Amino acid sequence: MTIDVHGHVTPPELLKKFPMPPSLGDIDGMVERKAALGITTTVVGSPVGAGTMLPVPGVDNYAQPADSLARFHEWVGETVRERPGVLVGYVYVNPLEGAASVTRAAEWLREKEFAGLIVNTSVRGEFLDDERSDEFFAMAQEAGAPVLLHPPAVPVGAAAMRKVGAIEHVVRPCDITMGVAAILIAGRLRRYPGLKLVAPNAGGALALLREKLDLAQRRDQLDGPPLSDQLRQIHVDTATPSLPALRAAVEVFGPDRMLFGTDSPPLATPLDTALASIDALGLSEEDRAKVLGGNAIELFGLSSAELRRAS
């Protein structure tokens, strides 16, 4: 069985409200397309909650009323319940919003339909090295829930690039790179060693910055083990069309830390191409099986019996 840890879904009311790809609402179509290729399970959620990844004047994704987020999570839960073993849910939360938001997220996470958390690597231009994120990281560690560190709709540097395509495919991977690096440099993995962090897009450019992270650590006289060693505590997904990036991720993070992910929907990269990229890595059969599903089963604590029924 193959498990996709990076998919997105959106309820009908938001598709009517915001300009978003229709594929985000075609749940059955997504399930059928993936099943035809042996992708039996997808972990789904939204990196903006009840907001939108496309720029809309006057819309602030971080100013969502609690009742709007509640309705969104109720819809995700219902969508997952209708497809047991086929879909698993992420709980969205803004890590910098405070205790009330973190508490609500923890409550949703206790529902059996949800197995992980999805947050942004930066919030209004701030990374998660800010002490306001401590309550969130403490909750994530206590819950033992994987945290997908997804780039935001408006990543750091977006204003300088302007073009939507450049923001989607260049600036957002850079936000992943900087956001995860900020977490490492701030010592979050030393303070919360039980965190299960997942960096999408093969970790952005982190695999190419392993030695540079250590140089930065020495330059700023930061305590703790080398940051390059701490990279091995982070999981990455394979949601990138770049085979060199995937090969670098295998070397730096290791096959035990890689998770099959497609960012589909809405990403339009052909699913068979995403699967072929894993084959092209030349992994052993054991490691290939880990990347395609074994690592996800262990990380998310998925029920093998339910997954077998889904397949």
- Residue-wise pLDDT for 257-300, tens only, equals 999 999 999 976 789 999 999 999 999 999 999 999 999 999 99
Could you tell me the two tokens for 165? 């395509």
Region of 131 on the Ramachandran plot (φ > 0 left; ψ -120 to 50 alpha; else beta): alpha
- Check whether 38 has a pLDDT greater than 60: yes
Lowest mean pLDDT among 54-68, 109-123, 150-164: 54-68
Could you tell me the two tokens for 184? 């490492």
pLDDT classification of 303: cutoffs 50, 70, 90: confident
On whether the CB atoms of residues 120 and 47 are closer than 8 A, the answer is: yes
The whole-number pLDDT of residue 54 equals 84
Instruction: Count structural domains, the chain.
Output: 1
**Alpha helices by DSSP H, 222-300:** 227-230, 243-252, 271-279, 285-289, 295-300
Domain containing residue 31:
2-310
The whole-number pLDDT of residue 132 equals 94
The CA-atom distances, in angstroms, between 37 and each of 3, 273, 277, 302 are 11, 11, 14, 20
How many helices (H) does the chain have, and how many strands (E)?
Answer: 16, 10
pLDDT classification of 162: cutoffs 50, 70, 90: confident
On whether the CB atoms of residues 120 and 130 are closer than 8 A, the answer is: no
d(C-alpha 49, C-alpha 61), whole Å: 8
The mean of the pLDDT values for the chain is: 94
Q: DSSP label at 270?
A: -
pLDDT > 90 fraction of the chain, expressed in percent and rounded: 89
Lowest mean pLDDT among 136-150, 154-168, 282-296: 154-168
pLDDT classification of 207: cutoffs 50, 70, 90: very high
The whole-number pLDDT of residue 36 equals 95
Residue of 71, 139, 76, 130 lying closest to 105 (CA atoms): 139
Q: What CATH number is attached to the domain comprising 248? A: 3.20.20.140
pLDDT classification of 304: cutoffs 50, 70, 90: low
d(C-alpha 182, C-alpha 204), whole Å: 13
Q: Is 8 helix (H, G, I), strand (E, B) or coil?
A: strand
Q: Is 11 helix (H, G, I), strand (E, B) or coil?
A: coil
Q: Whole-model pTM?
A: 0.96
The whole-number pLDDT of residue 268 equals 66
Q: What are phi and psi of 12, to 5 degrees?
A: -55, -40
Residue of 74, 207, 93, 70 lying closest to 150 (CA atoms): 93
Amino acid letter, 131: E
The pLDDT tens digits for 49-93 are 999 988 778 888 899 899 999 999 999 999 999 999 999 999 999
| Beta strand 235-237 pairing with 258-259 | parallel
d(C-alpha 99, C-alpha 67), whole Å: 16
